[in-house]
Amino acid sequence: MVELAKDMAHGDYASNVALILGKQLGRPPLEIAQEIVKNLQADAEGYIEMSKTSAVAPGFVNFWLSEKFYADTLKETFEKKDKFGWGGELRGKKIMVEYTDPNAFKPFHVGHLMSNAIGESVSRLFEASGATVRRMNYLSDVGLNLAMAVWGMKQMQETLPDEGASLNDKTQFLGKAYVFGVAEHGKSDDVKQEVEKINKQIYTKEPGEILDLYQLGRTWSLDHFDDLYKRLGSHFDYIVPESEVAEAGLEVIREHRALFTDSEGAVVFVGEPFGLHTRVFINSHGLPTYEAKELGLTKKKLELFAPDTSVVLTGNEQNDYFKVVMKAIDLCFPEFEGKTKHIGHGMLRFASGKMSSRKGNVITGEELIAEAIEKSRGNEVVGMGAIKYSILKQAPGRDIIFDIEKSLSLEGDSGPYIQYAYTRAKNVLAKVGEAIHDSRFTIHDLNESEGKLMRMIGRLPEIISEAQKNLAPQLVCTYLIELAGEFHHFYATNRIADPSSELGAGAVGETRERRLALTAALAQTIQNGLWILGILTVEKM
């Protein structure tokens, strides 16, 4: 196994193959590592610095990349531009990523914001690896909760916004109607019966006042989400409403009835034989549950795109639910067996802990965005970047304690810190006022900060590949923070555009061109890395 060296002081790559062989052969790993180094032949392209390759205890082989490799890598940043770092290991593969999945009539909460940030970044990792990617958004637009919201709309019709009202006023009204409906539903059996009736009317699309209110609220929700997606920098190839896959889910169950069991008037999938638990797919009223609709959604995915892999993002609380659903999918669609991957993400928490929209005290995704933008002096790109980076820097399954002050800091582990490195680099190049060409630099006699920065830039393709294979955007975050820190150090310790006070006259021009080329390459690399995270760059901060 060969991987990027964790400590660049020991080389660019490290291999533990000697440790593996040592166990298999019963020999000292260091002795094997020394034999490997002794028998290594120079690679044909001259990318390995053979004189620095070494064996170290307890049995690692450390490799250093050559000046030729770094020269070619820097040229790639100029030649490939916004595609620098991209690979082709998934070329020819079709991948569908389902994420965000908001609820009509309800606020866009921080869980949806997390799903959007992670799903968009994972989609971009696949794209940067050569795959053909389609993004899907599974909209929850039916169900008991929505029936409660429609009941609330009916009770609050006197304050119903007219068509000339702002989209914000319309969605605020929907949020209030939802909270009111949920509260009253919990207090009264009469309201529960009314809500059950409304739920069936929506499901059967029975003409009348209820269907009119439902369609009005649904339209407002979709318009609101569409506006928000544009601000978040997301686009979806397919937005599939839950209401459109319910019948398809029932059809799948009818076609594979032997896989399901009758239980107290309902239809269930018995998961215990597979080490799972049992879940209801059709309830006692004959209506499809979320589980059945997932089967219908899978059928829809196969009809729309027939992906080689389908990735689904949900909150961690649905992890066990999805294990059962994926087993049912595998059995109902044997041609798609093993092709669904589920990513469960944690919660974004504040000082008061997890908040629920049913209690009416939720901090919505929009409110969090608005606060971040306000604290970044009205800069939406910086505010959005701060939030997205805070979400993506953790492994997807972990909870996040969000600190807005730290997330916006220009020092430390934050999105704006990386954006600031890009801005600094672009400011240097702007002051020079001339185009930087890859053919004008040399890479011999580099000082320590130049060499470290150059080596860091060369790691982007490997980082993107590793992040894609592990569905781990946090690897890109860690890389960009280290790269930004290295540039800030380079900026502070080197005169980039005018190195005359550091060097003899004969070396000034050569050093100047090299440092400007490194600065331009750095800016391109940061821009490409931030793109993977769905974060934009800014020219001024």
pLDDT digit string, tens, across residues 293-322 = 999 999 999 999 999 999 999 999 999 999
What does the radius of gyration of the chain's CA atoms come to, in whole angstroms?
A: 28
Measure the CA–CA gap between 520 and 108, rounded to whole angstroms: 39
**pLDDT at residue 362, rounded to an integer:** 59
Q: Taking 70 as the threshold, does the pLDDT of residue 507 lie above it?
A: no
Q: Taking 60 as the threshold, does the pLDDT of residue 351 lie above it?
A: no
Measure the CA–CA gap between 504 and 315, rounded to whole angstroms: 60
pLDDT in tens, 69-122: 888 888 999 999 999 999 999 999 999 999 999 999 988 889 999 999 999 999
Domains of the chain: 2-65 (3.30.1360.70)
**pLDDT at residue 355, rounded to an integer:** 43
CA 149 from centroid of its chain's CA atoms: 31
Q: Rounded mean pLDDT of 514-533?
A: 96
* HSE-up of residue 176 (Cα within 13 Å, Cβ side): 14
**pLDDT at residue 356, rounded to an integer:** 44
Q: Considering the chain, what is the average pLDDT of its residues?
A: 91
Contact residues for 49 (Cβ-Cβ < 8 A; gap 6+)? 63, 64, 65, 66, 67
Token pair of 18, please?
Answer: 């000697």
Nearest to residue 393, comparing CAs of 508, 272, 474? 474
- Across 20-24, 515-519, 533-537, the highest mean pLDDT is recorded for 533-537
The model's confidence at residue 505, banded by pLDDT at 50, 70 and 90, is low
Nearest to residue 333, comparing CAs of 290, 294, 275, 280? 294
The model's confidence at residue 358, banded by pLDDT at 50, 70 and 90, is very low
The model's confidence at residue 439, banded by pLDDT at 50, 70 and 90, is low
Q: Taking 80 as the threshold, does the pLDDT of residue 401 lie above it?
A: yes
Q: Taking 50 as the threshold, does the pLDDT of residue 357 lie above it?
A: no
Measure the CA–CA gap between 84 and 485, rounded to whole angstroms: 20
Q: Taking 60 as the threshold, does the pLDDT of residue 354 lie above it?
A: no
**Alpha-carbon separation of residue 446 from 438, 452, 460, 488 (angstroms):** 17, 9, 21, 17
pLDDT over 90 percentage in the chain: 71
For 91, phi and psi rounded to 5 degrees? Answer: -60, 135
**pLDDT at residue 499, rounded to an integer:** 84
Q: Taking 80 as the threshold, does the pLDDT of residue 350 lie above it?
A: no
pTM of structure:
0.92
pLDDT in tens, 117-133: 999 999 999 999 999 99
pLDDT in tens, 250-306: 999 999 999 999 999 999 999 999 999 999 999 998 989 999 999 999 999 999 999
Token pair of 294, please?
Answer: 């997932």
Handedness of CA 44, 47, 50, 51 (dihedral sign): positive
Q: Taking 50 as the threshold, does the pLDDT of residue 359 lie above it?
A: no
The model's confidence at residue 147, banded by pLDDT at 50, 70 and 90, is very high
Q: Rounded mean pLDDT of 234-240?
A: 97
The model's confidence at residue 360, banded by pLDDT at 50, 70 and 90, is very low
**pLDDT at residue 506, rounded to an integer:** 56
**Alpha-carbon separation of residue 212 from 104, 149, 172, 332 (angstroms):** 15, 13, 19, 36
CA 238 from centroid of its chain's CA atoms: 18
**pLDDT at residue 308, rounded to an integer:** 98
Q: Rounded mean pLDDT of 467-493?
A: 97
- Across 202-206, 353-357, 424-428, the highest mean pLDDT is recorded for 424-428
* HSE-up of residue 280 (Cα within 13 Å, Cβ side): 12
Judged by average pLDDT, the poorest of 49-53, 311-315, 465-469, 531-535 is 49-53
The model's confidence at residue 540, banded by pLDDT at 50, 70 and 90, is confident
- For the chain, the first-to-last Cα distance in angstroms comes to 42
The model's confidence at residue 39, banded by pLDDT at 50, 70 and 90, is confident
Q: Taking 60 as the threshold, does the pLDDT of residue 249 lie above it?
A: yes
Whether the link from the prior residue into 58 is cis, omega within 30° of 0, is yes
Q: Rounded mean pLDDT of 489-518?
A: 83
The count of other CB atoms within 10 Å of the CB of residue 283 is 14
Give one DSSP letter per residue of 430-493, joined into a string.
Answer: HHHTS---GGG---SS--HHHHHHHHHHTTHHHHHHHHHHTT-THHHHHHHHHHHHHHHHHHHH
Contact residues for 301 (Cβ-Cβ < 8 A; gap 6+)? 96, 98, 136, 307, 310
DSSP lists the bridge partners of residue 137 as 239
